[in-house]
Amino acid sequence: MRPSRFYRPAMYLCGALLAVVVLGPFALLLLASVSPQAGLLGKPPDLWPDSPTLDRYAAIFTQAAGGVAGDFRVALVNSLVVAGCSVAVSLVTGVLGAYAFARLRFPGRRLVLFVFMLTYMMPPLALVVPMYMTGAALGLLDTRTSLVVVYCSFTTPFVLWLLSGYFRALPAELEEAARIDGCGRVGALIRVVLPVARPGLISAGLLAFLMAWDEFFYALIFTSSPASKTVPVALAEFTGRYSLDFGLMAAGGLLAAVPPVLIALIFQKHITRGLAAGAVK
C-alpha cells in the first residue's frame, strides 16, 4: 500500500487536533493554578499571568490541617491510604477467588461468577443506604476503614474478574509439574502461578487503584470530617463552598490528578492491556 501524498499531513493534522482537545483544557487548568486571583476574576479573565505564583501549591503542602489548603493535603493522604488498602485487600481476596474460579470445579461456579459480575454492575445508589445503616451500626461512619470496606465491594469483583480470565489462560501443566514436585495447591499458586501472572496482577492492582482513587459517590455519603475525606469529596466540597476560587481548585485538581496520570503513563502497556482484557472477557 502506498499512502497518498496527503496522508502524512492529514494524520498530523488529526494529531494536532487531538493535542489541542486534550492538552488545551489541561493547559488552562495549569495556568489558572498559577494565576493571581484578581486576574482570574477579571472580565475577560487574564489567562497569561505576568507574575505567576506558586503560593497555592505551597499552601497545600505547608498549611496546617484545618485550613482550606491544608485539608487538601490531608485529603490526598486519605485517598492514598484508602486506595492503597483497598487494592491490597482486593488483590489478596481476588487472587484466591480468581484461582478458585479458574481451576476448581464446584457446584454453582458459573452462577456465583455471574452474581459477582452483577454486583459489579449495580449502581452504587442501590447499595448505599443499607451500607450507610450498617456503617452507622458498627460505628464506622466517617472513617477511612469504612471506605476501604466499601471500595473492596467493587474493586474485588473487578480484580477477580480480570484475574480469573488471566489464570484460565495459563497452562494447567505448570502447576501440575509443581505439584508433582511436592507443592501443595497454595504452594503452587504462590510459587508458580503468581510469578507467571505478574503482568496480570500489576494491571489488576493499578486499575483497582485508579477506580478507588476516582470514586466519589460513596465517599461523599460516608465521610463528613476532613480527617477521612478523600480528594474527590474535598474538591467537590471546595467548589461548593468557595465556588469562585478557581485558582486553588485548579491547583488541588492538578495535584489530585498526579498519581493516576503518572501511573497510567508509566504503566501504559499494563493499563491498556488490563482494560481490554477486563472489558472483553
Contacts with other proteins by CB under 8 A: the residue count is: 83
Identify the residue whose cell numbers are 487536533: 17
Reference 268, options 214, 213, 202; nearest CA is 202
Q: Is 60 exposed, middle or buried (0-12, 13-18, 19+ CB in 10 A)?
A: buried
Nearer to other proteins, 139 or 195 (CB): 139
Task: Kindly state whether residue 107 participates in binding other proteins, applying the rule CB under 8 A.
Answer: no
For 78, 114, 181, 247, the CA distances from 157, given in Å and listed in that order, are 23, 10, 33, 38
Q: What is the rounded end-to-end Cα distance, in angstroms, of the chain?
A: 34
Nearer to other proteins, 54 or 117 (CB): 117
Task: Kindly state whether residue 22 participates in binding other proteins, applying the rule CB under 8 A.
Answer: yes
Phi and psi at residue 122, to the nearest 5°: -55, 135
* Residues from 135 through 154 that contact other proteins (CB under 8 A): 136, 149-150, 152-153
Work out how close the CB of 63 gets to other proteins at its nearest, in angstroms, rounded to a whole number: 20
Q: Please say whether the beta carbons of 222 and 142 come within 8 A.
A: yes
Q: Tell me the C-alpha distance between 169 and 162, whole Å.
A: 11
Nearer to other proteins, 66 or 240 (CB): 240
Can you tell me which of 21, 104, 111, 180 binds other proteins, judged by CB under 8 A? Answer: 21
Task: Kindly state whether residue 111 participates in binding other proteins, applying the rule CB under 8 A.
Answer: no
* Residues from 191 through 250 that contact other proteins (CB under 8 A): 210, 213-214, 216-217, 220-221, 231-232, 235-236, 239, 244, 246, 249-250
Work out how close the CB of 124 gets to other proteins at its nearest, in angstroms, rounded to a whole number: 7
